[in-house]
Amino acid sequence: MLARLLVPLVLLGLTWAAPLHAGDAQEKADPFAQVESLLRPEVLLQGVVREEDVTLLFAHLRAALMAAQEGREAPPPPEALSRRAEAIAAEMRARGTLAGLVLLTAFEAAARQALREFAGAAPPAAR
């Protein structure tokens, strides 16, 4: 199971890391220049929820609504919907982890850059 999650995580990392190394010198000086575009919802969610998932969800909601109208208990979610919900949750955990790692990398680069600038601007220590 770990390998099942690790492979997509590594592939996503490689896909998302490439734009971080692209760009001109000014973009490279700003560690956050590419991060914002990588963390847009349409990028994070791309390919996760499919049209079939929406169909499954709304079919279940219709069945629950009809059961409520008839005074019955709502049916449990179909197995297919439960499987997709688990798969979507696993994918979002992996993408969330990757987004966190990308942000940490950017924060680390910014901290190092600030430290270099501070060290370069500091007056020599008096002895």
pLDDT digits (tens, 9 = 90+) for 62-95: 999 999 999 999 999 999 999 999 999 999 999 9
pLDDT score at 87: 97
pLDDT score at 4: 54
For 89-125, b where at least 16 C-beta lie within 10 A, e where not — what string?
eebeebbeebbeebeeebeebeeeeeeeeeeeeeeee
Distance CA(30)–CA(34), nearest Å, equals 9
Report pTM: 0.62
Residues with pLDDT less than 70, the chain: 1-29, 122-127
Q: For residue 49, with 0-12 CB atoms within 10 Å meaning exposed, 13-18 middle and 19 or more buried, which class applies?
A: middle
